[in-house]
Amino acid sequence: MDPARPGKGPLGAFRALGPAARRALTQVAALSLLNAALLVTQAFLLADVLASVVSTGVGGRTAQLAVLLAVVAGRALAGWAVRVISARAAATAKEELRARAVDHVLRLGPEWIARRGHGELTALTTRGLDALDAYFREYLPALMTAAVVPLGAGAAVLFADWPSAVIIALTVPLLPMFAILVGRYTADRVAGATDATHRMSGLLLELVRALPVLTAFRRARAQSDVVRRLSERHRRATLKTLKVAFSSAFVLELAATLSVALIAVVIGVRLVGGNLPLAIGLGVLILAPECYQPIRTVGAAFHASEDGVEAVRRVTAILAEPVPADGTEPLPRGEVRVSGLRVERRGGFAPDGESFVVWPGQIAWLRAPSGGGKTTTLLTLLGFVPSYDGTITVGGARLADADLTRWRRDVAWVPQNPVFAGGTVRDELTPAGEDVDAVLAELGLTGLADRPVDKLSLGQRQRVAVARALLRVRSGAWLMLLDEPTVHLDEVNARRVMDAVELAVDNGAAAIIAAHERSAVVAVDPETGGGAARGGTRRGAGGRGAEGKVGDAPGRRRAAA
């Protein structure tokens, strides 16, 4: 079986859902049994009342009408309970699948996410899984009703009038046969329509993310043709699926209508001939459509649920992706040594032979042209990118053998494009440490603690990310990995960031900073021509693309290769 398609049809997807779906199915099945019993009772009570009205006139049927009203109320209550159970099961299943998918994707790491596409994953875990509402609210109740009600109604008809039961037994199997044939035909088309939707959603998300860059280089307008082509492809795929869905509904309705009409003709002939009591004939006529209606409903709900089923298949395929096994060895605080690091990138290696050493109390600089592997080096240190060649040791222990979850607790990471969960600046920083206001003041962000993160400028967001890393250091982390930490900052704020980083290093942390060789990470002192940072900077002894920071503070070591 294709791992990307763990189950065929909605029932195959059901096996991938959690216990909430199984509990809901059991409860809906019990309510469907109750509904079938009430349906049979309602049909024959109503038939008896109508037959009595025809034969003896109105009156004397108060008790029967009261019971009939109670049965109708009971069916309405059972239908309401099914809808409530289905809605709750849908919410629970979506929450469980989203949590499992997000946790697994995070364990797979940013490299896998980048290959798969942020947009596609976002579309899948949001709108894609939202389509499960139709699966739970429409398909599962219809499926249980179709499994129970036709059998119960058919048994009642067999007990009351066996010729009509024979017609029902011969014609009912035609509906699921047509439904299965049409369902198999539409499965691949629904997958194609879902592919088009996810591609379009992913492209739009990536375009929104890259819009400032595209606008700056006057390439935004050129992307409109790409969006137009994808939209047209999505429109065609959706219309093809809808055509098939409407055709299948017509086939099922036609077969059910002709079958009920045949039963009505036979009953009418027998009533005219005096071979069938009126109450029995009316009861059978009321029940006969109920033997077909649930199957027609399943056919319609099948198409409504296919988007959700396809989303479950895709989530299951993600969950089947193997996660790199973590080691078990704890990494001690000490020397971080990178030797001959090579990582395969775009048909080459970037970095290609990176080597440097940094101790607590030191700063190591990674300087290389764009695409030289600075970010990849930091991601390798985080354990997200496997190295092709070379070794990384921390305190003498190999990073490849380390418990990466414990190791990442010791690392404070500032990416080029910081990501936040939303809310205010204080909400973002409080989980990292307690001295929020003090750290914000160090970075020139006083008064912004209660401002929403999405209202900040790029430079302010960058400093908030640095503040988060500094709080983590104060809470126990000892290695700072900073990727272009001053890229969006002016000279004054860049100086504030570097002062705060140097203070953390003076207090025993180690820092590895990736910076483009042409960027002014540290303001240059016009008198000396050196860095304005305390102690200046100078290149380490022979390190490829690495620089060691030498400070005036006692005990400050130089980061050397």
Query: Which residue bears the tokens 């709750």?
Result: 88
> Mapping DSSP to helix (H, G, I), strand (E, B) and coil, where does residue 365 land?
strand
In this structure, the answer to whether residues 343 and 306 fall within a common structural domain is no
Domain with 21 in it: 9-319
Number of domains in the chain: 2
Distances (CA, A) of 286 to 39, 152, 154, 356: 10, 14, 12, 84
Local confidence band at 509 (pLDDT 50, 70, 90 cut-offs)? very high
Domain boundary among 319, 345, 378: 319
pLDDT of residue 14: 60
pLDDT of residue 192: 60
R_g of the chain, CA atoms, integer Å: 34
| 429: its two tokens | 């920083």
pLDDT of residue 320: 83
Distance separating alpha carbons of residues 81 and 74, to the nearest angstrom: 11
- Is residue 324 assigned to a domain? no
Q: pTM value?
A: 0.60
In this structure, the answer to whether residues 242 and 308 fall within a common structural domain is yes
In this structure, the answer to whether residues 343 and 294 fall within a common structural domain is no
Distance separating alpha carbons of residues 293 and 282, to the nearest angstrom: 18
The alpha carbon dihedral of 18, 23, 26, 28 has a sign of negative
pLDDT of residue 269: 82
Distances (CA, A) of 268 to 265, 278, 281: 5, 10, 8
| 287: its two tokens | 């029940």
Whether the predicted pLDDT of 74 surpasses 50: yes
Local confidence band at 482 (pLDDT 50, 70, 90 cut-offs)? very high
- Is residue 330 assigned to a domain? no
Q: What's the average model confidence in pLDDT over 269-288?
A: 80
Q: What's the average model confidence in pLDDT over 53-80?
A: 80
Main-chain dihedrals φ then ψ at residue 89, nearest 5 degrees: -65, -40
In this structure, the answer to whether residues 144 and 257 fall within a common structural domain is yes
pLDDT of residue 468: 92
**Longest Cα–Cα distance in the chain:** 118
Domain boundary among 267, 286, 319: 319
Q: What's the average model confidence in pLDDT over 13-42?
A: 78
Q: What is the CATH number of the domain that holds 489?
A: 3.40.50.300
With CA atoms as reference, report the closest residue to 75 among 34, 44, 25: 34
Cβ(123)–Cβ(202) under 8 Å?
yes
Domain boundary among 286, 319, 352: 319
For 170-174, 347-351, 554-558, which range has the lowest pLDDT when averaged over its residues?
Answer: 554-558
Local confidence band at 505 (pLDDT 50, 70, 90 cut-offs)? very high
- Is residue 326 assigned to a domain? no
DSSP β-ladder status, 510-516 and 479-483: parallel
- Is residue 463 assigned to a domain? yes
pLDDT tens digits, 211-262: 666 676 677 677 777 777 777 777 777 777 677 667 666 777 777 778 888 8
Q: What's the average model confidence in pLDDT over 459-468?
A: 90
Task: Looking at mean pLDDT, say which of 22-31, 114-123, 289-298, 467-476 comes out highest.
Answer: 467-476
Main-chain dihedrals φ then ψ at residue 91, nearest 5 degrees: -65, -45
pLDDT tens digits, 154-207: 888 888 888 888 888 888 777 777 766 666 666 556 666 666 666 666 667 667
Distance separating alpha carbons of residues 444 and 446, to the nearest angstrom: 6
Cβ(513)–Cβ(365) under 8 Å?
yes
